[in-house]
Amino acid sequence: MAVGGAITSVLAWQIEAGADEAIAEAPFDRFAAASERPRRSPESPPEALAAPGGPASIPVAAGARETASAATDLESLKAAFEAFDGCALKETATNFVFADGAPNARLMFIGEAPGAEEDRQGVPFVGPAGRLLDRMLAAIGLDRAEVYITNILPWRPPGNRNPTDSEIALCLPFIERHISLVEPAVVVAVGGTAAKALLDAREGIMRLRGRWFNYTVPGSDARIPLRAILHPAYLLRQPAQKRDAWNDLIAIKKKLAEAGTDG
């Protein structure tokens, strides 16, 4: 194979593997850096992980749960999550993406994971899907500064691949604590991954959207109305589905009004 052809095929292979951006001038061996420090304690082997929402006895997830529960406010949760070394996505992400918007908002949006633009800026929902989410909010008279926006995972999965069940299980205690600290009047799960993780559901988004759930905040009796909506990234590919998304947004607006709050 000619040199040019070989380089092109190596580049194509890297893009397929998720290395789709040039982040720095010089290469950095993240695998070498990662192997220098233990990511998991010996008593918590990776095979002990279970699906999201699974038994709280999973050793690695239990460590995450203890760390997350110890956080008494959003600042300490952010610091604890950012310092958490149990999820390997941290090794490949450029930035830790925690949240955006108003911490005292009554409406909390929870997406799946940062994409390329979010990873670059360290802010959730700022890429093409985020711009559509902004327009969806505007359609019901809201601005992103009035709501609270975060994701199940704070680190971008390489190449925007789907997060694994293990990655979700590891990060779930943090989003659960995040919800209990924000105490929103309404939670919106953005897309199937977030909906399934928060509801511990097996059904897909098409069955989960269009109805209300009661989200039980772990460790408390509090119940928060939760609505799942179609992910804006999906709506960008399937604009005909925007009608369903619109119906869910109207229902969310109505629920907020019933709860005596608009945003």
User: Taking CB under 6 A as the rule, does residue 192 contact ligand URA?
Assistant: no
Q: How far is the CB of 234 from ligand URA (least distance, A)?
A: 10
User: Taking CB under 6 A as the rule, does residue 115 contact ligand URA?
Assistant: yes
Whole-angstrom CA distances from 10 to 3, 31, 144, 159, 199 are: 11, 19, 40, 16, 41
At CA 46, angle to CA 84 and CA 54, rounded to 5?
85
Stretch that binds ligand URA, among 83-91, 108-116, 219-227, 243-251 (CB under 6 A): 108-116
Closest-by-Cβ residue to ligand URA is 111
# binding residues, ligand URA (CB under 6 A): 15
User: Taking CB under 6 A as the rule, does residue 98 contact ligand URA?
Assistant: no
Gap between the Cα atoms of 83 and 65, Å rounded? 14
Q: How far is the CB of 252 from ligand URA (least distance, A)?
A: 17
Q: For the chain, percent helix, then strand, then coil, each to nearest 5?
A: 50, 10, 40
- Residue 152 token pair: 């199940």
Transcribe 155-169 into DSSP letters.
SPPGGGPPPPHHHHH
Interface map 141-170 toward ligand URA (x if CB under 6 A)? ----------x-------------------
Q: Pick from 125, 148, 155, 213 the residue near ligand URA by CB under 6 A.
A: 125
Stretch that binds ligand URA, among 61-69, 86-94, 127-135, 249-257 (CB under 6 A): 127-135
User: Taking CB under 6 A as the rule, does residue 129 contact ligand URA?
Assistant: yes
Whole-angstrom CA distances from 169 to 87, 150, 185 are: 10, 17, 25
Contact set for ligand URA, span 231-250 (CB under 6 A): 233
Q: How far is the CB of 151 from ligand URA (least distance, A)?
A: 5
Q: How far is the CB of 52 from ligand URA (least distance, A)?
A: 15
SS3 label, residue 186: strand
SS3 label, residue 80: helix
Q: Pick from 118, 167, 176, 248 the residue near ligand URA by CB under 6 A.
A: 118
Q: Burial level of 7, CB count in 10 A (0-12/13-18/19+)?
A: exposed
- Residue 102 token pair: 């108003």
User: Taking CB under 6 A as the rule, does residue 111 contact ligand URA?
Assistant: yes
Interface with ligand URA by CB under 6 A: which residues? 111-115, 118, 124-125, 127, 129-130, 151, 190-191, 233
